[in-house]
Structure 1
């Protein structure tokens, strides 16, 4: 009954046209605000998904490393037990060490990863190798290196050159670190490929085979920096992580892909909430229009309120009518805004209408990804705004006494 009254008041012609204008302004403002929220959150989701996919190609599903120190010691029996855990698809053993890479007069500090032959089945580095290169890491006595694009540019690496690069690695057994020749081990190494994933990786990392790196830093055969693990598609990553942590013990840490780069993903989540809060201010501003529309409607319908009270309607009933009127204004605007945002996002996904300027991006258009949770969140926000905006005018309509004779 309350909603029927509210619906009739919404549709009925008002004695003063400005009431209709203010009501529709509030509807349009809420529609614009809700559409803006959905659109911006969807674009943010698109960029977030793009970044996660790039980082996902570099970081494995799970990584085991030492809780303290750079290296960990692993017995063959432990590796067998890891293989036996359900949903583990592939594992790869890795060693990581800082190195100096020299090409003639050019040089650069790199994080050199020594990986085994199974590493390409754990992460997707090979698919990011640029033209004319290949993912080839060589052998212990004939090593090869795959460089990040930023490192390749810094040292002027050329895949067509027959001149090898020279790599310098710390001599762990040296007793005289002031002498370059005794403090560092050097070896000529050929470049076979250049990968381009993301600037953070391209400017920092290079890959070679694990046997060569172990030989260069004179690391014992059962010592590693980490174990990279990929899981089957339907695996419960939290369950596998828990099983691995129980197996490995407190001297090892098992991290998911996001935990390996927790700082980045925490910042991304924080940015999303900040964007949501800022854009919600648009809806709060729209609420001021709604307050004005409802206040003027109450003045317009003061005789109706007096009649309803004379017929026995209590304050709660009167208040409910104008609360529902607020829900109508907010609901129509909110649904219209969500529909507009859905159509725009769908068209952008389908036809890539809005392009990104410049040619240095991974994609040349704004990526969008709609999440049902964003629509629910915006719907809840609109509801809260509607209640907040309609409560005071509805309360006044319920408590104020209007005269049926004079209409005042």
Structure 2
């Protein structure tokens, strides 16, 4: 057996250690490790959860990639492109594309007896994937959208419904300005709430035939196509493949296809999310530093307390390296115990918060009503490994203090 490891275990498990002066320092060091690791686990879990929640809301409204008309302005009053079965088949065949759906938009206004509100009417076809809106549905149901008939049913956000004092089943009148003012009456079939105010206060969903009729487009035309991908990490690669297949192609009406990713369409949102990564790195560095320095102070106190033992070991012929190993092994035991408690606290918080949403947020500011937490096993293991390695490496330098201890003087040290 490794002699240094054996002695370290005896020191760590020995009953006499409970009476030593180093007991408070050892506890403080373990608490520092535990708190630091718990804060790192919680911080990473919250940031990942928050980024994924916001990302899922933005993608839910606009999908991962959009193919539209190159000549479309930045407003929702767009120019169309042909979105027939041929182009959809081409896009669906690109590796990484999971789903393709058409959409059309038309800006307008909702008017009630007492108020009015600007909005964008978004039309979708029968291939529309309603998963995102069903997940965020508050009342009613998602209408069965069609491209062959006008249902005159809409899905409206809870924030718009509250502003206009509307409820499920109400009839609403909408108005659109083109060469002349046109009106359209809809029935509220469902109410959704995502807490993403930029879109909740904007979009009404209906069938694509109605929007195309308001835009006076041909049945095979639409504002564009929304593409869902299988792996978000491959967004740029898949977008480039889409670009290679359709960009700058001209349809029979003169529309030019143009590809944009959700990050290009919402640069401010994704720039804000990228800033969170910097915050996480700052927290990780600070917590590793705090944990490391508490361990350094604890190790120095332990070495000073064990000066007599170090002198005896040196007198018996032990090398400085072997004695340093004893105290580094002892420190590893303390780090391991502190990390165990840190993992328990951090993971327990993540589990409780993800299940019960105890800590709330202001949805008007953060686009979500609770602190989101997401657990990633690989990042969890990486945090643990990084904390352990950094803490041990920080102790290597202070352990050189052992080489300065004189056996003759230290044996008499009390």
Residue 3 to residue 265, structure 1, CA distance change in 2 (3 Å) = farther
Residue 366 to residue 158, structure 1, CA distance change in 2 (3 Å) = closer
Out of 35-44 and 130-139, give the one that drifted further.
Answer: 130-139
1:210-249 matches, cutoff 5 A: 210-219=208-217, 223-230=221-228, 240-249=238-247
* 1:262 Cα deviation after fit: 5.4
For each residue in 1:28-70, what CA deviation from the matched residue of structure 2 results, as whole angstroms up to 9, or x when unmatched? Answer: 2211222233234334444445445544543435432345634
**Counterpart in 1 of 2:334?**
329
Supply the RMSD in Å over aligned alpha carbons: 4.1
**Counterpart in 1 of 2:8?**
6
8 Å CA contact 1:58–1:123 kept in 2: the answer is no
Structure 2 residue 392 is the aligned partner of structure 1 residue 392: no
Residue 389 to residue 264, structure 1, CA distance change in 2 (3 Å) = same
Q: Which residue, 95, 108, 115 being the options, matches 2:104?
A: 95
Residue 45 to residue 223, structure 1, CA distance change in 2 (3 Å) = same
**Counterpart in 1 of 2:155?**
146
Residue 167 to residue 136, structure 1, CA distance change in 2 (3 Å) = farther
8 Å CA contact 1:23–1:289 kept in 2: the answer is no
Task: Give the alignment's TM-score, normalised by structure 1.
Answer: 0.77
Task: Give the alignment's TM-score, normalised by structure 2.
Answer: 0.76
Structure 2 residue 196 is the aligned partner of structure 1 residue 193: no
For each residue in 1:273-308, what CA deviation from the matched residue of structure 2 results, as whole angstroms up to 9, or x when unmatched? Answer: 514533653453343332222112222333443444
8 Å CA contact 1:61–1:229 kept in 2: the answer is yes
> CA separation in 2, counterparts of 1:84 and 1:282?
48
1:13-52 matches, cutoff 5 A: 13=16, 17-52=20-55
Structure 2 residue 258 is the aligned partner of structure 1 residue 252: yes
Out of 296-305 and 59-68, give the one that drifted further.
Answer: 59-68
**Counterpart in 2 of 1:378?**
383
Residue 312 to residue 260, structure 1, CA distance change in 2 (3 Å) = farther
Residue 205 to residue 8, structure 1, CA distance change in 2 (3 Å) = same
Structure 1 unaligned residues grouped into runs of 5+ = 172-181
**Counterpart in 2 of 1:176?**
none
1:72-83 matches, cutoff 5 A: 73-74=81-82, 76=84, 77-83=86-92
